[in-house]
Amino acid sequence: MKNEELQAELDTLIATQAGLMAIVGSLMATHPHYEKFQLHLTGLLEVLLTGEAGKTFTKKQRQQARDFVQTLQNINKAPSKIEPLASVPNL
């Protein structure tokens, strides 16, 4: 592959990851059982990384996966009522 093709593929992967992070973050923040979701996510990640599926990952890849999930886990639970226009003054 040429450098331009590799860069285009990398750009697509980065953009896709950003989009997926936004989607998953929103789902996490609005999940009706937020605390259970967080606990399950932590447990499932460790099962995946240390079990049969994780054997093909390098140490660096395992750490990157943990870092990624930890970033997502810093997303706070959404308030029960979301009003996106609440801060807009009435004109």
pLDDT band with cut points at 50, 70 and 90 for residue 81: confident
Domain count, the chain: 1
Cα–Cα distances (Å) from 59 to 11, 24, 25, in that order, read: 24, 24, 25
Range of the domain at 20: 3-73
For range 54-73, the mean pLDDT:
91
pLDDT at 7: 95
* Residue 21 located in a structural domain: yes
Average pLDDT over all residues of the chain: 89
Residue ranges of the alpha helices (H) in 1-91?
3-30, 34-50, 59-73
User: In the prediction, which pLDDT does 80 show?
Assistant: 83
- The answer to whether position 80 is within a domain reads no
* pTM of the full structure: 0.68
Confidence tier at 45 by pLDDT (50, 70, 90)? very high
Cα distance between residue 4 and residue 56, in whole Å: 29
